[in-house]
Amino acid sequence: MITRFEHSICRYDQDDVIRRVFSLMGFPVPSSGEARRCADAFLREGGFAEGLATLLPHGPTILAQRAKLAGLLEMLDAPRIALTADQVNGTTLIGLSLCVASKERRAAVEIHAGIGGLFHHGESGTLISQIAPLTGPGMDMRRDYLLSVVEAARGTLEQQFS
């Protein structure tokens, strides 16, 4: 049961994002610094994904994850968005977003294209959300936007990880 909520700011690292997503999808986690190369290999037709699918009992699920992983890589490559105060305070999300969650691991990775990422996990009755805005000009607005997304979804996240 989630009884507390904490959030912090962390670094946005493409390699770390991909590694977390691989873990949540139930795939072997690539070595540090190799995540993008592994993701590209996973998406290649007739390659790594098909081999892994034949070895593991949840093979069809692995192949079904391709589109989600391709979408993640597309979002990671999106140009940075310079938000306005109205967009930060608005009630709708800006641009593309993708969330990969695992109830078994009580964790989720949420990517907002051109803005940054959110890492959520539940442990010992606490929901922890790490806000990881893309760095550079406008970072404060990206952080504020991601904080507003966390606050808007907090009730749902607490229920999901309880």
Residue-by-residue pLDDT tens, the chain, 162 positions: 667 788 888 888 899 999 999 999 888 899 999 999 999 988 887 767 777 777 777 777 777 788 888 899 999 999 999 999 999 988 889 989 999 988 788 899 999 999 999 999 888 888 899 999 998 888 899 999 999 999 888 888 888 777
Delimit the domains of the chain by residue range: 4-16+79-161, 19-76
Q: Does residue 6 contact residue 128 with C-beta atoms inside 8 Å?
A: yes
CA–CA distance, 139 with 133 (Å, rounded to integer): 6
Beta-carbon contacts of 17 under 8 Å, excluding residues fewer than 6 positions away, are: 72, 76, 109, 111, 117
Q: Does residue 59 contact residue 70 with C-beta atoms inside 8 Å?
A: no
Helix (H, G, I), strand (E, B) or coil at 126: strand
